[in-house]
Amino acid sequence: MLRDVTAVRYVTPLRSGGSVPGVVEADDLGTYVVKFTGSAQGRKALVAEVIVGELARALGLRFPELVLVDFDPAVADSEPHQEVRELHSASRGINLGMDYLPGARDFTPEVAAAFPVDSLEAGRIVWLDALTVNVDRTVHSSNLMIWPTLGVAPPRLWLIDHGAALVFHHRWDGTDPAKSYDFRHHALGQYAPDVRAADAELAPKVTRELLREITQEVPEAWLAGEEGFTTPDEVRTAYVDHLHARVQASAAWLPTDFPAPEELALENAAREARSRRGRPAWLQQVPDLHGKPAAQPDWTAHLG
């Protein structure tokens, strides 16, 4: 079961994403990145975080611990920005916290160029993303961290941010469990991910029993009122049924087409060239920043 904690100190908002999560300290002396129920992404993003994150952990992938955070907006009454205060006011009660990884670095293309990733590990992560339809882990925004970086142990890849996964739960009656998606630009595609070996290893582990256990971790309040369902348990069953059917159909959606880094470079150059066409002369020299991640601040300094 996800542990329950209470936020006792609000450290800072994180503005790198549209949901504006916040770093908080809790009564268990832990520090967490909290995603709020009142964010524009809604509660389904938190449901996806729980289901995909706990599934990743069950399959042996590295993913920070999740906790349920009881958040009182009064804890953050010193927040100066009105829109963030409104987010907090709309998020009173239980929210989702992810263990903060101090000193972790984003897995950017520059970091990736010098960081070795085993093809089987890459295959496991790609397989999980393909199963859960997490098309948001790309070369431009990896949603991967490297941690630790302080010499305590060799740095390893850690998965984060799965709120955009499980796209089928936005339209329950319209998605084929065997549908394939485009993963050519996956963040780990350059490592020759061995998705077939990963499928052989991981698919038998994703049983109905495991999926039922994981969906039980989702708070009922986040599932209540789902259109087309009477009870939260019916929604849980729908997740179990769809994901289990998707596992059984892995031969249909298993991604195997990953372009080489040189091919990606050519595609990016062509895209930038297309974006320049029709620009006025004064914009011709402005670089195409489409898809490139913003610089991520180091929040360690706020944790003193």
The domains of the chain are located at 3-101, 105-253
- Residue 300 in this model has a pLDDT that exceeds 80: no
Q: Give the 3-state secondary structure of residue 143.
A: coil
The pairing of beta strand 3-13 with beta strand 156-159: unpaired
Summarised one tens digit per residue, pLDDT across range 76-101 is: 999 999 999 999 999 999 999 999 99
Summarised one tens digit per residue, pLDDT across range 228-274 is: 999 999 999 999 999 999 999 999 999 998 987 777 777 777 777 77
Q: What counts of helices (H) and strands (E) characterise the chain?
A: 9, 8
Report the pLDDT value the prediction gives residue 43, as an integer from 0 to 100.
96
Count other C-beta atoms under 10 Å from residue 273's C-beta.
Answer: 10
Q: What's the order of all strands across the beta sheet hosting 105-106?
A: 105-106, 144-147, 156-159
User: Cα angle vertex 200, ends 194, 202, to 5°?
Assistant: 90
Report the pLDDT value the prediction gives residue 52, as an integer from 0 to 100.
98
pLDDT range class, residue 303, cuts 50, 70, 90: very low
What are the distances in angstroms from CA 84 to CA 23, 114, 171, 195, 214?
13, 37, 30, 41, 31
pLDDT range class, residue 283, cuts 50, 70, 90: low
| Average pLDDT for the chain | 89
